[in-house]
Amino acid sequence: MNYRPLGKAGVKISEIGFGCMSLGKNSVAESVGLIQKAFDLGINYFDTADIYDTGNNEQLVGSALKSHRPKVVIATKVGNVIKSDGGKGFDWNPSKEHILKSVEGSLKRLQTDYIDLYQLHGGTIDDPIDETIEAFEILKQQGKILNYGISSIRPNVIKEYVKRSGIVSVMMQYSLLDRRPEEEITDLLYRNDISILARGALAQGILINKSAKDYAGLTADEVKAVKQKIQKMAGSNATEDIALGYLLVQPVVGSVVVGFRTAEQLQAALKTRPDEAMINTIKSRAPVSFYKEHR
């Protein structure tokens, strides 16, 4: 396992991270076993959120990693609120009051007295951004979090946090089928020593075994054409290796966060070895689009 800096945080994280949201479909015993196996294989970055499985995901992660606590980097998120009336979706609350209150629940469920990386779970340009930043800075001063970041694909929001805050990371969708971050975000973050935590590397499975569909500003036909080019150039190499490898050659990427549900998926991802020459060839033939929405 290779380890990369988490922005300017002064800590290194595994280049393949564990996105724990996917564990909801497994039994508790299976999930704990998979987390333990990931740790044994060198993964030290584990990502969850306070809303995943209504808080049970944090509790699961905390229990599984309790004995390894000093050796792991635990990331969780705040800002989305489960609707009290049981309705679909979530309410959004990036207020200082909510963040300062919510961290206590996350700490309790994670069975820890500090969170390595506390992330705003979304955000819009109309949020009280300075108030949100103040909450994170207070938590840092209190020692309840060590660092903070945001989870967002909105360029305008990301730019404001780069300019006004001490974020060390941005979690965002990024893949060979979604190269929109390269248009205006990747260089900005790299210059400011802020890591991308890349999610969606396999583009919802489209890059490996799912049918082409409209995705990230590309039509289904465009997606199919890109996928065929990648498969043709990959040859005997697994498409998954190319998809993960593409992100691993990007210097701004701190970790590619993958949602594992089986030991086989875990083992396959950890075998990825980027073929930089092949990836550069594929890169030249995959389109870069612009964030027309999500500003």
Q: Is 52 a catalytic residue?
A: yes
Q: Which one is catalytic: 45, 52, 148, 246? A: 52
Torsion over CA: 47, 95, 170, 173 (sign): positive
**b/e per residue 40-68 (b: at least 16 CB within 10 A):** eeebbbbbbbbbbeebebbbbbbbbbeee
Where would I find the beta strands (DSSP E) of the chain? 3-5, 12-14, 16-19, 45-47, 73-78, 80-82, 90-92, 115-120, 145-151, 169-173, 195-199, 253-258
C-alpha closest to that of 22 among 40, 45, 44, 46: 46
Helix (H), strand (E), coil (C) string for 43-78: CCEEECCCCHHHHHHHHHHHHHHHHHHHHCEEEEEE
Cα(179)–Cα(186) distance, integer angstroms: 10
Cα(76)–Cα(79) distance, integer angstroms: 11
Cα(92)–Cα(81) distance, integer angstroms: 6
Spatial neighbors of 250 by CB under 8 A, at least 6 apart, are 186, 196, 198
Cα(121)–Cα(95) distance, integer angstroms: 12
Cα(139)–Cα(198) distance, integer angstroms: 25
CA dihedral 198, 14, 40, 61 (to 10 degrees): -50
Q: Please list the active-site residues.
A: 52
